[in-house]
Amino acid sequence: MKIGILTSGGDAPGMNACLRAVVRTTIHYGHEAYGIYDGYKGLVENKIKQLDRNDVGQILNRGGTILGSSRLPSFKEKAVRQIAIDHLKTWGIEALVVIGGDGTYRGAMALSEMGLKVIAIPGTIDNDIASTEYTIGFFTALDTAIDAIDKLRDTSFSHQRCTVVEVMGRDCGDLSIYSGIACGAEIVITKETGFDPENVLMQVKKAEEMHKRHLIVVVAENITNVFELAENIGKHSHYTARATVLGYIQRGGQPSSYDRILASKMGVHAAELLIKGESGYAIYTKSMEIGHCPIAEALNAQDEVTDLYQYLNKLN
Q: Which residues bind ligand ATP (CB under 6 A)?
A: 8-10, 40, 71-73, 75-76, 100-104, 106-107, 110, 124, 126
Torsion of CA 135, 140, 142, 145, to 10 degrees: -140
Closest separation in Å from C-beta 161 to ligand ATP: 32
Closest separation in Å from C-beta 173 to ligand ATP: 14
Kind plus residue range of the DSSP H or E element containing 240: strand 240-245
- If the CB atoms of residues 163 and 176 are measured against ligand ATP, the closer one turns out to be 176
Closest separation in Å from C-beta 226 to ligand ATP: 21
SS3 33: strand
Closest separation in Å from C-beta 21 to ligand ATP: 19
Q: Is 248 exposed, middle or buried (0-12, 13-18, 19+ CB in 10 A)?
A: exposed
- If the CB atoms of residues 27 and 249 are measured against ligand ATP, the closer one turns out to be 249
What residues contact residue 300 under an 8 Å CB cut-off, 6+ apart?
A: none
Closest separation in Å from C-beta 104 to ligand ATP: 3
- If the CB atoms of residues 84 and 207 are measured against ligand ATP, the closer one turns out to be 84
Closest separation in Å from C-beta 160 to ligand ATP: 37
Longest Cα pair distance anywhere in the chain, in angstroms? Answer: 70
How many CA atoms does the CB half-sphere of 53 hold within 13 Å? 8
Q: Is 126 a catalytic residue?
A: yes
Buried b (16+ CB within 10 A) or exposed e, 109-141: bbbbeeebbbbbbbbbbbbbbbbbbbbbbbbbb
Gyration radius of the chain's alpha carbons: 21
Closest separation in Å from C-beta 186 to ligand ATP: 29
What residues contact residue 316 under an 8 Å CB cut-off, 6+ apart?
A: 186
Kind plus residue range of the DSSP H or E element containing 34: strand 32-36
CA angle 62, 259, 3 (to 5 degrees): 75
Residue 216 · residue 165 · CB < 8 Å:
yes
Residue nearest to ligand ATP (CB): 103
**DSSP states of 36-84:** ETTHHHHHHTT-EEEE-GGGGTT-TT--S-TT-----GGGGSHHHHHHH
- If the CB atoms of residues 136 and 243 are measured against ligand ATP, the closer one turns out to be 136
Residue from 11, 126, 143, 174 carrying the catalytic annotation:
126
Residues marked active site are found at 126
